[in-house]
Amino acid sequence: MKSVGVAILGLGVVGGGTYKILRDHREYFQRTQGVDITVESVLEINKEKALALGIEEGKISDNIAEVISNPNVDIVVEVIGGVEPAKSFVLAALHSGKTVVTSNKELFCKYWHELEKAAKRTNAGLYFEASCVSGVPIIRTLIDGMQANVIENLTGIINGTTNYILTRMSREGSGYEEVLKEAQRLGYAEADPAADVEGYDAAYKLSILSSLAFHTKVPLDKVYREGITDIRPQDIAYGQELGYVLKLLAIGKNGQNGIEVRVHPAFIRKEHPLAAVSDSFNAVFLKGDSVGDIMLYGRGAGALPTGSAIVSDVIYAATHNDIKYTTFKNSAQAEAGVKFVNDFRSRYYIRFTAKDKAGALAKVAGVLAKYGISIVDLIQKGEDCEDIPVILITHETNEYAVRRALDKVAALDDVVSVDSVIRVEV
């Protein structure tokens, strides 16, 4: 039976979960996968944390050079997070010829090209299933399950924190700040939640996933990003009246005009499969030209779900001699000639406050018409009020046209304010 030694860099939540799976399932992997996987080294400053997991003291180190030079280590698992020192540690492992498995989406998104170049130089493996959507095997699906398809569309809920917050806001009518504090108390959100609530985490993942789906490098700076901090409960409620559910979506499209990649809040029809994805769960909806629609669903965070993806990569690396790298030119920037769509098309939910005067809505409609924007649904709220909220849904139109039109609408004498603009995906 083949024996494979693993080093784990970092014993935080995910590192600890990974160690537990490898320890508890060792005999199961021997029986079902034909490989004996042992943890030969861990990099952890807090020795007591490692000892509490049952790791032998002689396998605990605070020196990366010592870990990488260990001849019993074949695969290095990086679960430190962030860019440094993770980047230096991963490059050192690859330069020494060790296969690397990582869950680090920020590092991978920003420096994938450097990591792959180092891996190719020493013929080392480089695996990253756990970097996107935790325990949901989306990367293996894209690489090994969808080869027969030209993927036209990738739409996902790929951040558990924001999905939890929006779910609570939708169910309870609570405000963003109130739900965020509860999410932080429960451990769903970090003390500094910006990476999640401002959409950075989802943008990192979309950059990786769309590059794989469309077989071309999609750099982070090509991803339009907008978070959920400006979402208000009344907009969620109005959307529900119209038959919509609000989600933070990661959207990738590959069409005739080019590649479109964006992360932002969006209303989707309550009948859409993604509308039922609640709390901290994640899902990715794919459309292939041969297979049609596919959705993968599961937990998007946590020690064991993320550890599951990491260990899956460890087993894959241990049982496959052939090493696959990207199918595209992996560089810092997109390849010359690849077009990206900035002026994308969508429907729009628009809420504005108007003075209760005859002709006010007609003036707004007139401005929108000048920019080729027509209205599908319209709701006027309030009676006998000086100022009234108005909600409308547009037909599909261009992003830039909406921005220009709303600048003009906001300047109308009969419009008090433009309060909310949310895209509607159908």
Residue 335 falls inside a structural domain: no
Where among 268, 299, 330 does a domain terminate?
A: 299
Task: Please indicate, yes or no, whether residues 178 and 241 belong to a single structural domain of this protein.
Answer: yes
Residue 22 tokens, joined: 């490898």
Per-residue pLDDT of the chain (426 residues; tens, 9 = 90+): 899 999 999 999 899 999 999 999 999 999 999 999 999 999 999 999 999 999 999 999 999 999 999 999 999 999 999 999 999 999 999 999 999 999 999 999 999 999 999 999 999 999 999 999 988 999 999 999 999 999 999 999 999 999 999 999 999 999 999 999 988 888 888 889 999 999 999 999 999 999 999 999 999 999 999 999 999 999 999 999 999 999 999 999 999 999 999 999 999 999 999 999 999 899 999 999 999 999 999 988 888 999 999 999 999 999 998 999 999 999 999 999 999 999 999 999 999 999 888 888 999 999 999 999 999 988 887 666 778 899 999 999 999 999 999 999 999 999 999 999 999 997
β-bridge partners, 250: 156, 263
Counting every residue written for the chain, the total comes to 426
CA-nearest of 156, 132, 162 to 309 is: 132
**Closest listed residue to residue 293, CA positions, set 266, 273, 307:** 273
pLDDT single digits (tens) 348-362: 999 999 988 888 899
Residue with tokens 């789906």: 213
Q: Answer yes or no: is 304 within a domain.
A: no
| Beta-carbon count within 10 A of 285 CB | 21
DSSP letters of 172-199? H---HHHHHHHHHHHTSS-SS-HHHHTS
* Number of helices (H), then strands (E), in the chain: 15, 17
Q: What share of the chain is helix, strand, coil (3-state, %, to 5)?
A: 40, 25, 30
Q: Domain containing 28 — which CATH number?
A: 3.40.50.720
CB neighbours of 376 closer than 8 A, spacing ≥ 6? 347, 392, 393, 394, 395
**Same domain, residue pair 90 and 53:** yes
Domain C-terminal end among 131, 159, 175: 131
Per DSSP, the three-state class of 225 is strand
Residue 411 resides in a domain: yes
Assigned domain for 420 exists: yes
Same domain for 83 and 151, yes or no, is no
Q: Which residue has the tokens 């939708």?
A: 170
Please check whether residue 361 is in contact with residue 369, taking contact to mean a CB–CB distance below 8 angstroms.
Answer: no
| Domain encompassing residue 54 | 2-131
The pLDDT value recorded for residue 380 is 84
Is residue 242 assigned to a domain?
A: yes
Location of structure tokens 């690859």 = 94
Burial class (CB in 10 A: 0-12, 13-18, 19+), 408: middle
CA nearest 44: which of 25, 26, 19?
19
- Contact present, 57 and 349 (Cβ < 8 Å): no
Instruction: Please indicate, yes or no, if residue 254 is contained in any of the structural domains.
Output: yes
pLDDT at position 372? 95
Q: Is residue 187 part of a domain?
A: yes
Q: How far apart are CA 212 and CA 210, in angstroms?
A: 5
Query: SS3 of 400, please?
Result: helix
Pair 161, 277 in one domain? yes
Quote the CA–CA distance of 226 and 71 in Å, as a whole number: 46
Number of domains in the chain: 3
Catalytic residue ranges: 205
Same domain? 153 vs 122:
no
